[in-house]
Amino acid sequence: MKASPPRLKFTFSLNLALLLTVCALEQIPFTGALLHEWLGLTFAAMIVVHLLLSWAWIASQTKRVFPIQSARALMNYLLNLSLFAAVTTSIYSGITISQEAIPSITKTARPILYHGSAWVSIHDQASNFVIALAALHLALNWDWSVAAGRTIFRRLKAGAP
Amino acid sequence: MKFVRTVARLTMIALAATLFIGLTTLYAHSFGPPSPRERERRNSEPHLKSLPTLLQQYLVFGAIALAGRKILRLRLGSR
C-alpha cells in the first residue's frame, strides 16, 4: 500500500460511501424518489473521483491485459469493465427517467413514465447488475480494503490524523 | 500539468461512458413503444419503515462479495 495516509483515508472513506450508497440506491421505497435521484447524481460524481484515484491501477491493468497474459488478469479486467458499463447505463437511464432532480436542474417538464417502458426496464436491470458486480468488485479488492481499514484504524488509535 | 492530466483522464472516462451510452440507446430503441396503460409511480418521500429491506440489501451485497471471495476465488494477484 503506497498511498499516503491522508489519501488512503480519503480513498477508503470514498469507497465506504460508495458501498453504502449503492445499496441505498437500490431501495427506493426507503429513500423515496427525490433522495434516490440526488443520491444517484452524487454517486455518479463519486464514481468519477473513484476512477481518477484508481487511474494508476486502471492504466497498469490495461497494459497487463493487452496482450492477454493470464486468465485471472483478463477476468478481473472484464469484471471491472462490466461494472463500469453497468454503472454508466444505470446513471444514464436514471437521468433519462428522472422525475425530480433533472427536471429541477434543467427546468424542463417531468417525463411521463409507463410501467415496463424501455428506459425504466433498462434502469432496473442495470441497477441489479451494478449491485452484483460491485459486490464482486469488493471481493476482488478485499485484501486492499482490509489492509487500508487496519492502517486507518491503527493510526486513529495512535492519535494520528 | 496535473490539471491537464486530470482533464485528459476525465475525457477518457467520458469517451468510454459515451460508448456504453450509445450501445444502451441502441438497445433502448429495440424496445417497442410503451403501452400507455400503466403509469409508473414512485413515492417521493422516504419511508423509514422500509429500513429492514435496506439492511437486507446490505446482507445480499455481503453474501455476493463473500461468494465471490470464497467460491469464485477473486483476487487481484496473478496467482
Which of B44, B51, B76 faces A140 most closely, judged by CB atoms?
B76
Round to whole Å and give the CA distance between A13 and B52: 24
**DSSP 8-state secondary structure symbol assigned to residue A114:** B
Query: Which chain B residue is nearest to residue A59, measuring alpha carbons?
Result: B9
Per-residue pLDDT of chain A (161 residues; tens, 9 = 90+): 456 688 999 999 999 999 999 999 999 999 999 999 999 999 999 999 999 999 998 998 888 777 767 777 888 889 999 999 999 999 999 999 999 899 999 988 888 777 778 999 999 999 999 999 999 999 999 999 999 999 998 988 887 76
Three cell numbers written together for A108: 424542463
Claim: this prediction has a pTM higher than 0.80: yes
Helices A28-53, B51-70: crossing angle, 10 deg rounding: 40
Q: Which residues contact B66 (CB under 8 A, 6 or more apart)?
A: A139
C-alpha cell at A144: 486492499
Residues of B in Cβ contact (< 8 Å) with A131: 57, 60-61, 64
Name the nearest CA neighbour of A71 among B73, B9, B27: B73
